[in-house]
Structure 1
Amino acid sequence: MIEDAYVRLYANDFAQMAGRSELGQDVEGAVEKRLADARAHAVIMDSRKGPGHLDALIRRIRDTAPEFTGRVMLKDANPQEAAARRFVFLTRIADALTGGAAPQRV
């Protein structure tokens, strides 16, 4: 059985990193560390609760990537462009989790 708390925790962390990136903060080191944490934690969760945790996280990230509230962006930024950047950021995270490599310039 997939533990939803695992999925929510990491999906939320990556969404927050997308917001921080939009505000101009350097999040590359944090992203790489959190990707490694998510992968390692998925292995533990799979062994204890059943398989599929990493796949569930990837699905959640892909499902929430298009969601954009407009709250986390610089003043006078274009909301459509900010939403597109968030989508690209989170899609690269999902791709990195799928392929196992760190994302290129998120």
Structure 2
Amino acid sequence: MQSQNWVAVHELSKINVIRLKMPDQTPYLYVEREKGQILTLFDQQQNYSIKIGEVTTVNINNQRFSILIKKFEEVDKQSDALPRRASLEFIALKID
């Protein structure tokens, strides 16, 4: 937190969702494995293809975030309903 606003978050999630909790909203992105270390981050309007361990900039609700996924292991099958159980570790940094 900085001046009553969050700047960064490090989270260990038990589901395949990156949640960016903010005072008036909680935007989120689902995470799915494409192939190997390549993941897809998506919501209803956009998709991002990223690699585990690399920083990716995303735009959510007119705000930019840098996201680093450190670990992602699926527990449920991709055919199961969202959200799915997973082991997800990520860091998100609010850019503006």
Q: TM-score, normalised by structure 1?
A: 0.27
Greater C-alpha Rg: 1
Structure with greater strand percent? 2
Q: TM-score, normalised by structure 2?
A: 0.28
